[in-house]
Amino acid sequence: MSGRVLIVGDEPNIVLSLEFLLSRAGCEVTTAADGEAALDAIAAAPPDVVLLDVNMPKLDGFQVCERIRANPAWHAVRILILTARGRDIEREKGLALGADGYVTKPFATREVVTKVRELLAAGGAD
Amino acid sequence: MLIRARRAVWLVFAALVAAILGALAAAGVWLAPHLAAGDLTVAVSGGLGLLGMILIGALALTWVWLDRVLVRPLAAASRGARIIARGRTAHRIEVPDGHLLGDLPDALHGLGEVLHEARSNVERAVADGAARSEQQKAQLEAVLRELSEGVVVCERHGHILLYNPAAQAILGSDPGPGLGRSLYALIRREPIEHALAALTEQQAAAPQADAAMSFVVPGVAGEGLLRCRMRVLSVGPEGHPGFVLALADDTRQVRALHQRDALLRQLVDGLRGPLASLRAAAEALGECGPDEGPQRGAFEAVVEEESRVLSERLERVAQDARGLLGGGGLRAEVAAGVLAAAVARRLDARHPAVRFGLHGSGLWIDGDAHGLALLVEHLAARIAAARGVERIEMETLLGDRRVYLDLSWEGEPVAGAQLDAWLAEGIPAAGPGVTARDIIAEHSGEAWSQRHRHAGRALVRIPLPASSRQWDLAPSAALPARPEFYDFSLAAQWQAARGDSGLVNRELRALEYVVFDTETTGLRPSQGDRMISIAGVRVVNGRLLRGDHFSALINPGRPIPALSTRFHGITDAQVSDAPMAPEVVARFKTFVGEAVLVAHNAAFDMKFLRLQERAAGVVFTNPVLDTLLLSVLLHDHASDHTLDGIARRLAIEVHDRHTALGDALVTAAVFLAQLPLLEERAIANTLGEALAASEQVLDVRRMQAQF
């Protein structure tokens, strides 16, 4: 599979591992450490999938999601949110704000890779 | 006026004397020539005769006159006074003209009016007092009814005199509390009697001190825990010893605490193992040299496996914890409608430009009513200001174990950043340092803004825990009208019953009755007809207890003839999953206890019951009264002693005939109407008398039947 994936998160360990695994799977991976950097990166070069950690300081994942969806130019960007708290309402909130999928931490990386693959496929069909 | 009367009487007697003297003179005049002629005998007899006649005539006239002017008016006045005293205060005393009573009649009339007024005043005062007392009673009843704490009042030996709906919810409804029933049938005797004894002693030692005692008893059927608080008091008009118990069901809280403890333990202990392995393997990995391939591989495998185990354990604990998080003491059932009304009121006061209302019917939320009201008010005000709208609608939608509280308006959604900013604001009315987000967190909730399903509208959605009250089944569709839940005069009865020589000497109106009726497959018990339905209602102290009834279908073990179904409407399908007769009869006996049984044509129903005694393992030793026999006793002249006929005669409204419960109710109404008549006509005051009188009727009928 190929596609551009942006990983946004403030826990370097997770970001590192995910970057490694997704690159191995054939994606072109970029990372951002917080919400603002993420929006800048998207503005510069919109990715196909954004992996968005919810818990970030300043601009949290939900707000980034909201802003991506607010921009019609980024309509094709698929958003996968990573929730730290497995509460169903966080999932719902994300979906209500326009996310395309979610993963709960701790997750099996294979799961993430599979979901990214699905989103890329769906994006292509658009 | 008396002077006038006396003068009249004096005048009359003076006239009488004058008449007698005149008569004497006339006699003398008449006699003189005869005396001179020596005709003594004739003279004397003639004179005496004349004198006598005149005297008798005068006396007779006098008597007639006195009778007319004095004796008869006096009698009339006295009769009239009695009539007035008995209540006909407008009665006018009839006296002939020329009476000598003076103004005695008028004085009596005046007394009558004064009496009438005085009586009216007393009646009015009594009615006012009664109305006020009735109103206070209604208010107290309302308070008792709404208490979330259960309250039970018993006389000293544990018989229930009062219980409120909360107590019924705690103590269950099968059998549940009931007037006159024993509390110890529901909860353990020992702790209560122990507390009662201790409190009584305390009170004897220090009568002025306010003594109460708290303790814990196992719940109904041994399940759960009830927290009780007991106080001693006197009950009933004569002040019999008793006690009041406040009940609270602590089971849920205790259970929740235990669950939390268990989870914490799981978390702490359950994670140590995998973490230790993980850490050890990670450190070992660090120690491995570049050429120790297989060892590296082994440790990497350990790292992967233990991480997976840790994840699973965490997931499991998170699942279990989901139900428990945030179950604080502040949370209770909140009706969305009530919440919306509270918010509307607050907004009216502080932000009158904003109109707020509930859309649709509200659901039940499990939460802190006050906190939620403040939160919603805060958000509504902010949204209205930011979006420039005047109207905000609240709607509740049911989700998975959650209720979504949506605040919607016409316009665009609110940006997440903006919403977060509003939520970070403090809400002073909720407490120092409490923010809107804190209130949401307390409910394990969240908040976000999105488009509404209707175009052009947007909303802020706040998922909140749903209250299980949504799904509570409606209370059993029992009889309407408020259930009687107290009767303090029962205390006196229990007192009387204890020192009693027997049920037969108890007064009819003080006894406990169960009025019942059965529906059967046919009229011949000896030829295989069986009961298919039985219902009973309880009468205590002359009152039909609306909340305390028994009603059950019975599987007769044979098909129901179509003719019979046409009569009572019960089909084979309806009884196919009903229990068999022995089980129902046993439960019915428990319901009846030692009450007197009453039925219409009781012999018929009792025959069916007795046929099941052996199988059910119970015996009906209760005395039985028959409303049909009582009707014959009371209305011998009538020929229609069917239930409908008697009801008509006694002017009782009949609904719903030909179901066991409907018939039991009509029979009870008839019985309650017959009781006072039995007393009034002195046919029977006590149970013994009623039974004896009924026996007599039976004998007569048996004899009649032989002809």
Q: By CA distance, what is B313's nearest residue in A?
A: A106
When pLDDT is averaged across residues B417-428 and rounded to a whole number, the result is 91
Start-to-end C-alpha separation, chain B: 75
Q: What is the pLDDT of residue B572?
A: 85
Q: How far is B417 from chain A (nearest CA, A)?
A: 6
Q: What is the pLDDT of residue A125?
A: 43
Name which of B314, B402, B416 is nearest A62 (Cβ-Cβ): B416
Name which of B308, B315, B450 is nearest A96 (Cβ-Cβ): B450
Q: Verify whether the Cβ–Cβ distance A86 to B446 is below 8 Å.
A: no
Whether B215 and B281 share a structural domain: no
Whether B426 and B540 share a structural domain: no
Whether B213 and B158 share a structural domain: yes
Q: Verify whether the Cβ–Cβ distance B463 to A106 is below 8 Å.
A: no
Whether B381 and B349 share a structural domain: yes
Q: What is the ipTM of this complex?
A: 0.80
Q: Verify whether the Cβ–Cβ distance B463 to A59 is below 8 Å.
A: no
pLDDT at B514 over 90: yes
CA gap A5, A15 in Å, rounded: 12
- Residue A23 located in a structural domain: yes
Beta strands per DSSP E along B368-443 = 391-398, 402-410
**Helices and strands (H and E) in chain A: how many:** 5, 5
When pLDDT is averaged across residues B638-642 and rounded to a whole number, the result is 79
Q: Verify whether the Cβ–Cβ distance A96 to B448 is below 8 Å.
A: yes
DSSP for residue B250: -
Of the listed ranges A38-52, B475-489, B657-671, the one predicted with least confidence: B475-489
For chain A, how many structural domains are there in total?
A: 1
CA gap B196, B206 in Å, rounded: 15
Chain B interface disruption, residue of A13, A54, A69, A89, most B CBs within 10 A:
A89
DSSP of B512-560: EEEEEEEEES-S-GGGT--EEEEEEEEEETTEEEEEEEEEEE-B-SSPP
- List CB contacts (< 8 A) between A97 and chain B: 416, 448, 450
Chain B contact for A66 (CB, 8 A cutoff): yes
Q: Verify whether the Cβ–Cβ distance A89 to B445 is below 8 Å.
A: yes
pLDDT at B497 over 70: no
CA gap B454, B457 in Å, rounded: 6
DSSP for residue B456: T
Q: Give per-residue burial for B225-254: e unless 16+ CB within 10 Å, then b.
A: bbbbebbbeebbeeebbbbbbbbbbebeee
Q: Which of B573, B574, B570, B583 is nearest to B518 (CA)?
A: B570
CA gap A78, B75 in Å, rounded: 115
- List CB contacts (< 8 A) between A93 and chain B: 446, 448
Model confidence at B477, pLDDT cuts 50, 70, 90, reads: very low
Q: Verify whether the Cβ–Cβ distance A62 to B448 is below 8 Å.
A: yes
Q: Which residues numbered 10-49 in A keep a CB inside 8 Å of some CB on B? A: none
Give the highest mean pLDDT range of B210-219, B373-382, B544-553: B373-382
When pLDDT is averaged across residues B475-490 and rounded to a whole number, the result is 48
- The identity of residue B91, as a single letter, is H
Model confidence at B4, pLDDT cuts 50, 70, 90, reads: low
Q: What is the pLDDT of residue B482?
A: 44
- Residue A76 located in a structural domain: yes
Q: By CA distance, what is A106's nearest residue in B?
A: B311
Of the listed ranges B111-125, B240-254, B477-491, the one predicted with least confidence: B477-491
CA gap B659, B516 in Å, rounded: 11
Q: How far is A97 from chain B (nearest CA, A)?
A: 7
From B198, B222, B249, give the residue that closes a domain.
B249
Virtual torsion, Cα B69, B75, B80, B81, nearest 10 deg: 110
For residue A10, how many other CB atoms are within 10 A of its CB? Answer: 16
CA gap B256, B268 in Å, rounded: 18
Give the highest mean pLDDT range of A42-46, B140-144, B466-470, B571-575: A42-46
B100-131 tens-digit pLDDT: 777 888 888 888 888 888 988 998 999 898 88
- List CB contacts (< 8 A) between A92 and chain B: 446, 463
Residue B451 phi/psi, 5° resolution? -75, 150
- The identity of residue B486, as a single letter, is Y
Q: Which residues numbered 460-499 in B keep a CB inside 8 Å of some CB on A? A: 461, 463
Angle in degrees, CA B194, B198, B201, rounded to 5 = 140
Q: Verify whether the Cβ–Cβ distance A66 to B461 is below 8 Å.
A: no
Chain B contact for A63 (CB, 8 A cutoff): yes
Q: Which of A30, A55, A29 is nearest to A40 (CA)?
A: A30
Q: By CA distance, what is B419's nearest residue in A?
A: A63
Q: Verify whether the Cβ–Cβ distance B448 to A87 is below 8 Å.
A: no
For residue A53, how many other CB atoms are within 10 A of its CB? Answer: 24
When pLDDT is averaged across residues B578-589 and rounded to a whole number, the result is 89
- Residue B475 located in a structural domain: no
Residues paired with B70 in a beta bridge: none
Quote the mean pLDDT of chain B: 82
pLDDT at B326 over 60: no
Model confidence at B35, pLDDT cuts 50, 70, 90, reads: low
> Domain range spanning residue B416?
332-466
For residue B647, how many other CB atoms are within 10 A of its CB? Answer: 18
Q: Which of B327, B468, B326 is nearest to B403 (CA)?
A: B468
* Three-state helix/strand/coil letters over B135-187: HHHHHHHHHHHHCCCEEEEEECCCEEEEECHHHHHHHCCCCCCCCCCEHHHCC
The answer to whether B122 and B142 have CB atoms below 8 angstroms apart is no
Looking at chain B, the whole-number percentage of residues with pLDDT higher than 70 is 90
Name which of A59, A66, A90 is nearest B446 (Cβ-Cβ): A90
Model confidence at B472, pLDDT cuts 50, 70, 90, reads: low
CA gap B197, B217 in Å, rounded: 16
Whether B141 and B151 share a structural domain: no
CA B340, chain centre distance (Å): 32
Whether B534 and B676 share a structural domain: yes
Q: Give A63's contacts (C-beta < 8 A, 6+ positions apart).
A: A35, B415, B416, B417, B420
Whether B652 and B511 share a structural domain: yes
Residue B608: its H or E element: helix B602-611
For chain B, how many structural domains are there in total?
A: 5
Whether B540 and B622 share a structural domain: yes
The answer to whether A56 and A32 have CB atoms below 8 angstroms apart is no
Q: How many residues are listed for chain B in this entry?
A: 707
- Residue A116 located in a structural domain: no
Whether B276 and B340 share a structural domain: no
The answer to whether B367 and B331 have CB atoms below 8 angstroms apart is yes
- Residue A120 located in a structural domain: no
3-state DSSP assignment of residue B448 = strand
- Here the CATH number for the domain that contains residue B404 is 3.30.565.10
- List CB contacts (< 8 A) between B450 and chain A: 96-97
The encoded tokens of residue A28 equal: 């072109």
- Residue B493 located in a structural domain: no
Q: Verify whether the Cβ–Cβ distance B420 to A108 is below 8 Å.
A: no
Q: Which of A41, A81, A49, A87 is nearest to A65 (CA)?
A: A81
Name which of B310, B416, B461 is nearest A63 (Cβ-Cβ): B416
Q: Which residues numbered 67-106 in A keep a CB inside 8 Å of some CB on B? A: 86-90, 92-93, 96-97, 106
The answer to whether B685 and B508 have CB atoms below 8 angstroms apart is yes
Start-to-end C-alpha separation, chain A: 17
B434-458 tens-digit pLDDT: 899 988 988 888 899 998 888 899 9
DSSP for residue B486: B
Chain A contact for B321 (CB, 8 A cutoff): no
3-state DSSP assignment of residue B409 = strand
Q: Verify whether the Cβ–Cβ distance B314 to A89 is below 8 Å.
A: no
Name which of B318, B402, B415 is nearest A86 (Cβ-Cβ): B318
When pLDDT is averaged across residues B682-702 and rounded to a whole number, the result is 81
Return the number of CB contacts < 8 Å for A and B. Answer: 38
Q: Give B490's contacts (C-beta < 8 A, 6+ positions apart).
A: B155, B159, B161, B179, B180, B236, B540, B541
CA distances from B4 to B19, B66, B80, B101, B259 (A): 22, 15, 23, 10, 105
Q: What is the pLDDT of residue B502?
A: 66
Q: Which of B652, B367, B671 is nearest to B540 (CA)?
A: B671
- Residue B486 located in a structural domain: no
Q: What is the pLDDT of residue B704?
A: 67
Residue B269: its H or E element: helix B251-287
A66-109 tens-digit pLDDT: 999 988 888 889 999 987 765 777 888 888 888 898 888 777 77
Residues paired with B333 in a beta bridge: B366
Q: What is the pLDDT of residue B241?
A: 85
- 0.90 cut: is pTM over it? no
Q: Give B321's contacts (C-beta < 8 A, 6+ positions apart).
A: B263
DSSP of B66-113: HIIIIIHHHHHHHHHHHHHHHT-TT------TT-SSTTHHHHHHHHHH
CA gap B105, B101 in Å, rounded: 8
Name which of B314, B417, B448 is nearest A97 (Cβ-Cβ): B448
Chain A interface disruption, residue of B271, B440, B450, B451, most A CBs within 10 A:
B450
CA distances from A21 to B6, B282, B328, B634 (A): 138, 20, 43, 99
From B216, B249, B282, give the residue that closes a domain.
B249
Q: By CA distance, what is A86's nearest residue in B?
A: B318
Whether B582 and B684 share a structural domain: yes
For chain A, the farthest-separated pair of C-alpha atoms sits apart, in whole angstroms, at: 35
- The identity of residue B632, as a single letter, is V
Whether B307 and B403 share a structural domain: no
Q: Which of B649, B685, B672 is nearest to B546 (CA)?
A: B672
Q: What is the pLDDT of residue B479?
A: 33
Pairing state between β A28-32 and A4-8: parallel
Q: Which of B440, B437, B442 is nearest to B425 (CA)?
A: B437
From B193, B217, B249, give the residue that closes a domain.
B249
A13-66 tens-digit pLDDT: 888 888 888 888 888 999 999 889 999 999 999 999 999 988 888 788 888 999
Q: Which residues numbered 391-450 in B keep a CB inside 8 Å of some CB on A? A: 400, 402, 415-417, 420, 444-446, 448, 450
- Residue B494 located in a structural domain: no
Whether B347 and B213 share a structural domain: no
Model confidence at B393, pLDDT cuts 50, 70, 90, reads: very high
DSSP for residue B454: S
pLDDT at B385 over 70: yes
Chain A interface disruption, residue of B446, B452, B460, B462, most A CBs within 10 A:
B446
Q: By CA distance, what is A66's nearest residue in B?
A: B416
Q: Verify whether the Cβ–Cβ distance A96 to B318 is below 8 Å.
A: no
Q: What is the pLDDT of residue B152?
A: 92
CA gap B240, B233 in Å, rounded: 8
- Residue A50 located in a structural domain: yes
Of the listed ranges B208-222, B603-617, B671-685, the one predicted with least confidence: B208-222
DSSP for residue B220: G
CA gap B105, B88 in Å, rounded: 15
Q: Which of A66, A57, A16 is nearest to A37 (CA)?
A: A57
Q: How far is A48 from chain B (nearest CA, A)?
A: 23
- Here the CATH number for the domain that contains residue A99 is 3.40.50.2300
> Domain range spanning residue A44?
4-111
Name which residue leads in pLDDT, B22 or B123: B123
pLDDT at B671 over 90: yes
